[in-house]
Structure 1
Amino acid sequence: MQFNKSSFQFLKDLKKNNNRDWFAEQKPRFIEAQDNAKALYASIRKNLEEHDEIEKFKLFRIYRDVRFSKDKTPYKPHFAGSFSRLGKHLRGGYFLRIRPGESFLAGGFWEPNKEDLFRIRKEIEIDASEMRAILDDKNYQKYFGGKFDGDELKTAPKGFDKEHPDIDLIRKKGYIAVRNFTDAEVLDPDFINEVDRTFKALRPFFNYMSDVLTTNLNGESII
């Protein structure tokens, strides 16, 4: 299973012709590309379920909500989907976007709620060695460059020491691993397997975060 060149070309054309008249004329091409995308994401989910438990999948709509946006183009020139892990015990989620010139996958914790974020920060404050070991892991280094992406505070969060040796991790607003893909990589027949190998590299991170977010600071279960 792979993403077709014709589907990729449709997204390129949509970016250049992002208006309702063009889209209406090209509706058959959209349906064909969307079907291709659905099949691709279904194959990715099947691979994921060989080594993880996935509760739900969401393929995001191509139609943009322009009500509160300065950008009034009506369509997203990409396909994107998210995979949620099973239940309260398995935390974290997977994400993949296919967009010419801007394709990427990500996994982790984007904008966690304030309780989860505080719990993660407190764990790092007490002992960041496990988190550092994850970032230093050879597979995590290979696929994600040994870092977290996303926004962070300019200084320490309230109640945390700005001189703490792990303040670079504590001031993160989220903990996201990101890998970018070239167009050639997306169109490669081995793309879905490469996505799966990359997602597998997140498991030590997800396992650690699941342990943290399902226990209190004494290591006692809260679920």
Structure 2
Amino acid sequence: MKTIISFLKDLQKNNNKEWFDANRDRYQESKEHMLFFTELLIQEIHKIDPEIPLLSPKDCLFRIFRDVRFSNDKTPYKTHMGSFIARGGRKSKRAGYYVHIEPGNSFLGGGIWCPEPPELKAIRSEIFEHPEDFKDIIEAPGFKKYFPEIQGEKLKTAPKGFPKDFEEIELLRPKSYAFGFQVNDQKVLGEDFVGLIVDAFQELARVNQYLNASLDKN
């Protein structure tokens, strides 16, 4: 992790093509470290969640190059490295596990971020029919230790097609069913970072399995 953090810190200060080209060897070394780390996590997650196959880490790691065509921010490179581990890799529509490495802003998380309308409706329908099953997962002490709340934007009222007087309407308002928590650089660089990830993802596995089962039913 030290190699990755060091490179990204310097990239934050020098986010331009000239510097990147001059330091391409450092980027390639950092990328290889992230791929190795991702492969290690794939193997660990596969033990926790049988849905996750032994993926190629290249299918999980996001590109560092930014798409600036429609952005006011024209800096060419992301200043973080991230991998999304799910069946189908980083482009999957299924719930998965995300690791984000960024100096001063690393985090671990997962679930489903901004699903398409059919997937979102499938999840909401399952929660509507079996709210207690979902609550049992997200309100368990071990889960809340890492993931205290559902992240992202929420509707101000009931989603279309669901009754406004539903007792657990708050569970249907999220636009994403995603969870996460920040990790400081000291922990990222510490000897037990993998252990922390495995502990957190063991808790996350239950909600991911619930979300993916919801998609499979609908």
Find the counterpart in structure 1 of residue 140 from structure 2.
137
Where do residues 143-154 of structure 1 align in structure 2 (5 Å cutoff)? 143-145=146-148, 147-154=149-156
Q: Conserved in 1, the CA contact under 8 Å of 2:48 and 2:205? A: no
What SS class does the counterpart of residue 214 from structure 1 fall into?
helix
Where do residues 182-221 of structure 1 align in structure 2 (5 Å cutoff)? 182-215=184-217
Where do residues 1-223 of structure 1 align in structure 2 (5 Å cutoff)? 3-4=1-2, 6-53=3-50, 54-55=52-53, 56=55, 57-85=59-87, 91-145=94-148, 147-215=149-217
- Report the TM-score when normalising by structure 2: 0.88
- Report the TM-score when normalising by structure 1: 0.86
Q: Conserved in 1, the CA contact under 8 Å of 2:68 and 2:76? A: yes
User: Unaligned 5+ residue runs, structure 1?
Assistant: 217-223
Identity between Structure 1 and Structure 2 (%): 39
What SS class does the counterpart of residue 129 from structure 1 fall into?
helix
| Distance in 1 between residues matched to 2:112 and 2:151, nearest whole Å | 10
When structure 1 is superposed on structure 2, of 110-119 and 189-198 the one drifting more is 110-119
When structure 1 is superposed on structure 2, of 113-122 and 64-73 the one drifting more is 113-122
Higher helix share: 2
| Distance in 1 between residues matched to 2:39 and 2:125, nearest whole Å | 37
Q: How many residues align?
A: 209
Q: Which has the higher contact order (CA 8 A, sep 6+)?
A: 1
Measured after TM superposition, the shift of residue 37 of structure 1 is: 1.4
Q: Conserved in 1, the CA contact under 8 Å of 2:4 and 2:33? A: yes
Q: Conserved in 2, the CA contact under 8 Å of 1:40 and 1:192? A: no
Measured after TM superposition, the shift of residue 208 of structure 1 is: 2.2
Dislocated runs of 4+, deviation >3 Å = none
What SS class does the counterpart of residue 202 from structure 1 fall into?
helix
Measured after TM superposition, the shift of residue 167 of structure 1 is: 1.4
| Distance in 2 between residues matched to 1:66 and 1:199, nearest whole Å | 33
| Distance in 2 between residues matched to 1:102 and 1:144, nearest whole Å | 17
CA displacement, residues 136-165 of structure 1 (integer Å, 9 cap, x when unaligned): 1121111112x2111211211122233322
| Distance in 1 between residues matched to 2:10 and 2:85, nearest whole Å | 28
> Which protein is bigger by CA-based radius of gyration?
1
Q: Conserved in 2, the CA contact under 8 Å of 1:150 and 1:173? A: yes
Cα RMSD after superposing both structures = 1.9
